[in-house]
Amino acid sequence: MDIIRTLGVFLVYKKKGLIKMEMNELQTLRHSASHMLAQAVKRLYPDTKLAIGPAIDDGFYYDFDTEHTFTPEDLEALEKEMKKIAKENLKIERFELSRAEALELMKDEPYKVELINDLPEDATISFYKQGDFVDLCAGPHVNYTSKVKAYKLLSATGAYWRGNEKNKMLQRIYGTAFLNKADLEAHLEQLEEAKKRDHNKLGRELELFTTVDYIGQGLPIMLPKGARVIQLLQRWVEDEEQKRGWQLTKTPLMAKSDLYKISGHWDHYKEGMFILGDEEKDKEVFALRPMTCPFQYQAFLNRGRSYRDLPMRLNETSTLFRNEASGEMHGLIRVRQFTISEGHLMCTPEQLEEEFKGCLELTNYMLTTLGLIEDVSYRFSKWDPDDREKYIGTEEQWDEAQDTMEKILKDLNIDYKVGVGEAAFYGPKLDIQIKNVHGKEDTLVTIQIDQMLAEKFGMEYVDKDGTKKNPYIIHRTSIGCYERTLALLIEKYAGAFPVWLAPVQIKLLPIADRHLDYVYEIKKQLEA
C-alpha cells in the first residue's frame, strides 16, 4: 500500500484502486486555506513551482520550489494577499481531466506531473479552480474563498520533496485556520505558551543540554544538570525493573554484520545503521547497534534452557545509534545517539498474556509516576500484507501474532487505534504515543510480540513433554528513550521538575557577606 499526502488531501491507494479519505468541516476549511496560500505565492512569486499542500491536525502547509527564501515579512505580505483573495469571493470549482489532459495542463509544474504519473491508471484525476488559480487536488473544499476568514501563517522551513532527503529541499510554509476568530486567537495563545515550554529552547536556557555543530547533528551533550536528571531516571528505572524480576545485562555497542544478517536488520534496517567498513573491500564489516535484541538473545543462548527457566526477563540501559535523516532530528526528541530502557523477555505461549500485561503495567506505573500517563494514547501497529518486502515471516505467522496481541489488548481493555504498516519487520507492537508541546506525535514506549527471531537464532527450550520449542519474545521499553523522555518532562513542567527529579534541590542565600563562611559550612554538610 502507498499513502500519498500530496494532492492536498490524504489519498490512499492500493493496486485495486483509489480510496479518498473524507475530511471534516475544519479540515476542509484548512485545505482551502492552503490553496489560497498557494495562489498568493503564485501572485507574488510567479516563477514558484507548486508541490503539495494538505490539511494537517493543527492547520495546513504548502511546499514550494522557489529561489526566493521566505522571511517573516514575506509571510505578512502573503497573508495580506490571502485577504485580497478572500475578499474577491472566488468560487472554488472542481473538474476532472483525462491523464493526457491533466499532464498537458500541469506541464509547467514538474511536481504535479510526477504526482499524476504516480497515480493508478484507473484513478480519477481532479482539479480545483478559484479565479485564475488551478491546482491538482482530490478535495474537498469550501464553496467560496470568502469562507476562509480566521487564519494565520506561522512559519517557513525546509522540507524534502516527498520526505526523502535524496530529493530536492523545498520551502514549506505552515499556517493554521479556524472556523472563527475566537478559536484562532485561543490557538495562537497556546502556540505562544508552547514556544515558552519548547524543550529545545528551555533545556538550553536551564543548562540541561547543548549541541555543537562540529560534533554533529542529533548528538546532544548532556550538561551536569541534564545528566543528573537522566541519572535519577536511570537508577529509578533499573531498581523498579529489578523488583519485577528483570535481570541486567551489558552488551557491546557494535557487532559484525553477521549478527545483523541473522536477525534480519541487515536486510530490513541497514539504511538506518552506521556501518563501519566496506563490504566489498573489508574481511569484516561492523555496525553500531541500532537495538539491543540480537545481543541480549546471547544470554538466553549461553546454555541449554528448559521451561523452568521461563520467563526470562533481560533488561539493559542501552546506548543505541540510528542514522536518522537530518530533516527528522529535533532537539532531544529525535537524535542519532540515545539511551533507552530496553528489555527482552522470553516466555512460553501460556505465559505470553500475563507477561505482556506485566510489561504494560510497568510502563503505566512509570508514566503515572512521571505525570505523563494522561498525555498518551495507544496504537496497535500491524503489518501491511500488500508490502511484503518490509517484513519477514509468513502470512500465517503474522496472523497468529496479531490475533494473539489483539486478544491481549481486548482482555486488558486497552482503547487503541490501528496503524497498518507500522509494525516492526518481525512482529506487531503496541505503540504508546505522546505529543510534544507543538502537537507533533512521537512514540514514547513500544511493547512488541515476536515469534520469528527466536527461530532465526536457534533459541529453543525443552518443554514439559520433552520436545524442543521456540519461545515467544516480548520486546519492550519501560520509559522509552531517556533523551526523549527528558524533553517531554521539560515541556510538561516548563522546567520546574518534580522535587525528586530536580537537578538543583536547594539554594543557600546569605543575607550579608559576614554570613558567607557559615553558608559554605552548611553547603559542605549538605553535600556530605
In the chain, what are the domains? 2-182 (3.30.980.10), 205-349+363-373+434-501 (3.30.930.10)
- For residues 127 and 97, the answer to whether their CB atoms sit within 8 Å is yes
Q: Contacts for 265-274 with beta carbons within 8 Å, 24 or more apart?
A: 265/290, 265/291, 265/294, 268/390, 268/391, 268/392, 268/425, 269/425, 271/323, 272/322, 272/323, 272/324, 273/321, 273/322, 273/323, 274/321, 274/323
Mean pLDDT of 29-47: 96
Q: Whole-angstrom Cα distance, residue 446 to residue 356?
A: 11
- For residues 445 and 480, the answer to whether their CB atoms sit within 8 Å is yes
Min mean pLDDT across 11-15, 65-69, 165-169 is at 11-15
Band of residue 23 on the pLDDT scale cut at 50, 70, 90: low
pLDDT, tens digit (0-9, with 9 covering 90-100), for 284-343: 999 999 999 999 999 999 999 999 999 999 999 999 999 988 777 788 999 999 999 999
> Phi and psi at residue 479, in whole multiples of 5°?
-120, 10
pLDDT top residue among 390 and 82 = 82
For the chain, give the percent of residues with pLDDT over 90.
Answer: 75
The distance from CA 41 to its chain's CA centroid, rounded to whole angstroms, is: 30
Strand partners, 178: 150
Q: Look at residues 289, 268, 267, 288 and name the one whose alpha carbon lies nearest to residue 277.
A: 288
- Cβ contacts of 49 within 8 Å, gap of 6 or more: 64, 65, 66, 109, 110, 111
Mean pLDDT of 391-403: 87
Does the pTM surpass 0.85? The reply is no
Residue 53 in this model has a pLDDT that exceeds 70? yes
Residue 469 in this model has a pLDDT that exceeds 60? yes
Q: Look at residue 349 and give its three-state secondary structure.
A: helix
Average predicted confidence (pLDDT) for the chain: 91
> Phi and psi at residue 337, in whole multiples of 5°?
-125, 130
Return the pLDDT at 10. 37
Q: Whole-angstrom Cα distance, residue 204 to residue 221?
A: 11
Band of residue 13 on the pLDDT scale cut at 50, 70, 90: very low
